[in-house]
Structure 1
Amino acid sequence: AKDAEAMRKYLIEALGYLDGNIITLPDPTSGDLNRVFGTASRPDGQLYNLVSAKPGRCDVFVYYAGHGAPSVREKRGYLVPIDASPDYIEQNGYPLDLFYSNLSKVLAKDLIVVLDACFTGEAPDTSGRVRTLVRDASPVPVASVTEDVPANSLVMTAAKSNQLACWYRDKRHSLFTYWLLRGLKGEADLDRDGRIVVGELDEYVRQNVPPLARLLYNRDQTPEIRGAAGKELLRIR
């Protein structure tokens, strides 16, 4: 919840998003995800309808911080709503490929997706201990980026498909979100030209997240950013 609130504050204060245009789901249920992002048969969810008022003129920023889980049978990734059972993730999870597919139907000018989650079937808690979401099963890494990713999108993920997304206990944030926000607030302007491009943000989080994950937990965590390296994200005010 703290990560989501910090991101919401950043969107309003730094990027100029209107508070009324931000959809916040602190502990989303299956129904919440279906309502906002749509279903397989009805992709026109709340986000779709909000953007449709100004087609092709809206920048859309989607931030998800929570659990992901794999389908052991399908090798398919799912977002895990608060009311979902990982043992029945195919029935009550939100498929990652559907998430991207429905986002591709949103008539946005630009789309940024941030996934602070991992999809191995394991989840570290705030103390760093790891628990298995899927009972009596070995971790099953699945890709956090699928072929359904929209062409006009920038996708940032907290870790590679076989890695955990770690918690930064001292800062009470996830490790990835903490450094992502610091970068977006100006530290990722590596050449000091007053703007941050995708390649700079990618380099910045890679400089900071992996060493700290190794130091704190003796784990590998390498964030991945998929998008044109030279694309400008923002200008520093």
Structure 2
Amino acid sequence: MTGLTVALVLLVVFPGCNEISSRWFTGAGASQGYWLPLTVGLRLDPSVTEAALAYTDSCRQPRTLPFGDRLTEALKRDIGMVFEHVLADAQPLGSRVATASDGVVEVVLGLKEVELFIHRQSTRSYPATVTLGATVSYFDAGGTLLSTRNLRTEARGNIDTEGQSCEVRGLAELANDAITRLAQGLNQHLGTSIKILQAAEAKQREGKPLVSGLQTGAGRGGSAASRPAQAEASQARSIDVDQVPERVRGYERRNSVGIAIGIGAFRDPEVPVVKFASHDAEVMARYLRAVGGIPAWQVKLVTDDHALKDDLVDVLENWLPQHVESGGDVLVFFSGRAMVDPVTGAVSLFPYEGTPTSHVRLLSLRRLQAALTRLPLQHAVLLLDVTMTVQRDSIRQKGQSPVWDAAVPTMGTAKLVQILGISEAQNAHQYERGRHGLFTFHLLKGLGGEAEADGDGLVSLGELFDYVRTQVPKAARAEYGHEQEPMSVPPLDANAQVRSLPLARVK
């Protein structure tokens, strides 16, 4: 059986936004004509103009289906129905200076995924799904972000193969359907965004563009909008780890499985968000596929409102056992919120619907550990970047420590090793300059090659732990004046054989 799941994820989140959300768009109905009295520039990232889907044909050969031109055309048409005038903006993506009079629309394509399984060469139909995701952002003439939204849409249908031919028919039509739905979603968001509507109303009342948050600076052309220096540094540091290193040719770990979970937004508005959690998981999944050498169809990504407790249980107790091979390895990454029972010290993780007042809605760490230890694995690695929710009469007041190792045997027989971003009940910092959790930021840097210490081109578990154990405390003290010390359970001492487990190849 030949299976293919290709996922390329890049979700761009800009700091200082007033309106940010994420949703699925079904594409029901035609695009609307809003014709807001605004003249805007349209900037399309190369991820849009050069977009292509990767798939495997019935002869088991890798193929690509370019769709950048079709997507560009659809976006121009549907966004053109929102505003009075839409101009091609010559400024580079990320520039906050609008050459158009009223604002700028930026579009970045993130998710491009084909789910297609072709068993063999034959004349038959196969189910297929094309999923697309994009981030659309609107900046006013002063460079202030008024609105941004992450949109995802999918198109389901059948593709056809015939006899001994390698051709896959019907995929282009399915991609066109997904493109149409995505363009309709952007059309609807831009045309109904409260902040954009307010800008249009302000212009109509005053007869001039709305400019907010403009910072002037000396320049040949007079005053210009500029971003604060810290915001520029944030974007630069984010690119440092978000630009995933290329996979080393020939390096593939077919008997390995990866799961990346990031839950930063919660159904209960009383539960504080974990700012970069979903982005942590998205980038980690890309690293697992690239430098980690894990096949794309063996990597599972679960984030935010797709991470209900039942979703997590299904991934860990149903999906994972079906993808694990005897003697293989599993790496599970979790970024989000956790809570400690003030009496027992038991640790529970927050799914999307999690709340500190209902333990039934939480996923116990013991259940996750048990799901891993009962599999026929050689090794399981659990990376936890958790921000702790502290209850009244809890660990910080009574001295009760989190119990991380309830289901973890001693190192002599252990197949589960946990690398934790904190010790005891420390704060797990959200690293604004890196656009990730502080621990995750250094995990990614380490996997990208910074942790490789002996010159063999491999990043081992021991090397990665040594790297984060050194770098995270330094960064925490320098940035926040607080302690944050990663730890391993069981301890990864110098004699632990599991230290040599390879996690990534960088050369």
TM-score normalised by the chain length of structure 1:
0.81
Match of 2:323 among 37, 50, 53: 50
Instruction: Find the aligned partners of 1:147 and 1:166 in 2 and give their Cα distance.
Output: 25
- State the distance in 2 between where 1:224 and 1:145 align: 10
Matched AA of 2:500:
K
CA distance in 2, matches of 1:11, 1:196: 12
* Among 289, 308, 323, the residue aligned to 1:12: 289
Equivalent runs, 1:96-115 vs 2, <5 Å: 96-115=365-384
Residue 96 of structure 1 and its aligned partner are, at CA, apart by: 1.0
**1:221 paired to 2:484:** yes
Q: Which has the higher strand share?
A: 2
| Distance (whole Å) between structure 1 residues aligned to residue 453 and residue 293 of structure 2 | 23
Question: What whole-Å deviation, never above 9, does each CA across 1:147-180 have from its counterpart, x for those lacking one?
Answer: 3126112321101022111111011100001111
Verify the 8 A CA contact 1:195 1:232 in the aligned structure 2: no
The answer on 1:146 being equivalent to 2:405 is yes
How far the C-alpha of 1:118 sits from its partner, in A, is 4.2
Contact persistence 2:419–2:488 (CA under 8 A): yes
Aligned counterpart, 1:129: none
C-alpha separation in 1, matches of 2:406 and 2:500: 21
Does the residue aligned with 2:477 lie in a helix, a strand or coil? helix
**Alpha-carbon distance in structure 2 between the residues aligned to 1:176 and 1:157:** 9
Amino acid at match of 1:78: S
Contact 1:196–1:236 (CA under 8 A) maintained in structure 2: yes
The equivalences for 1:1-237 within 5 A come to 1-27=278-304, 28-38=307-317, 45-51=318-324, 54-56=325-327, 58-89=328-359, 91-119=360-388, 121-122=389-390, 134=391, 136-139=392-395, 142-143=401-402, 145-149=404-408, 151-226=414-489, 227=492, 228=496, 230-233=499-502, 234-237=504-507
CA distance in 1, matches of 2:329, 2:460: 16
3-12 or 187-196, which deviates more: 187-196
Letter in 1 for 2:303: P
Cα RMSD of the aligned pairs, angstroms, is: 2.1
Contact residue 158 and residue 222 of structure 1 kept, 8 A: yes
Contiguous gaps of at least 5 residues in structure 1: 39-44, 123-133
Equivalent residues of 1:118, 1:158 under 8 A apart: no
Q: Secondary structure at the match of 2:357?
A: helix
Distance 1:19 1:199, change over 3 A: closer
Q: Distance in 2 between matches of 1:183 and 1:111?
A: 19
| Distance in 1 of aligned mates of 2:403 and 2:308 | 20
Cα separation, 2, equivalents of 1:190 and 1:144: 32
Q: Distance in 2 between matches of 1:193 and 1:18?
A: 22
| Contact kept? 1:118, 1:144, Cα under 8 Å | no
- Paired with 1:73 and 1:37, the residues of 2 have a C-alpha distance of 27
Distance 1:224 1:165, change over 3 A: same
What is the one-letter code of the residue matched to 1:50?
H
Distance 2:401 2:308 in 1: 22
- What amino acid is the match of 1:36? V
Paired letter, 1:181: L
Distance 1:198 1:20 in 2: 23
Q: Aligned partners of 1:72, 1:78: CA distance in 2, in Å?
A: 12
Q: Distance in 2 between matches of 1:184 and 1:144?
A: 27
Hey, what's the Cα distance between the residues in 1 that align with 2:401 and 2:501?
29
Number of equivalenced pairs:
214
- The answer for the alignment partner of 2:242 in structure 1 is none
Kindly, what percent of the aligned residue pairs are identical? 29
Name which one, 1 or 2, has greater alpha-carbon Rg.
2
Q: 2:387 and 2:460 mapped to 1: Cα distance?
A: 25
User: Counterparts of 2:431 and 2:285 in 1: how far apart (Å)?
Assistant: 19
Contact 1:144 1:157 in 2 (8 A): no
Contact 2:346 2:403 in 1 (8 A): no
Displacement after TM superposition at 1:138 (Å): 4.1
Q: Does the aligned pair in 1 maintain the 2:395–2:401 contact within 8 Å?
A: no
Q: 1:142 to 1:161 in 2, by over 3 A?
A: same
Of structures 1 and 2, the one with the larger relative CO (CA 8 A, separation 6+) is: 1
Displacement of 1:11 in angstroms is: 0.7
Distance in 1 of aligned mates of 2:459 and 2:296: 24
- CA 1:144–1:158: 2 relative to 1, 3 Å: farther
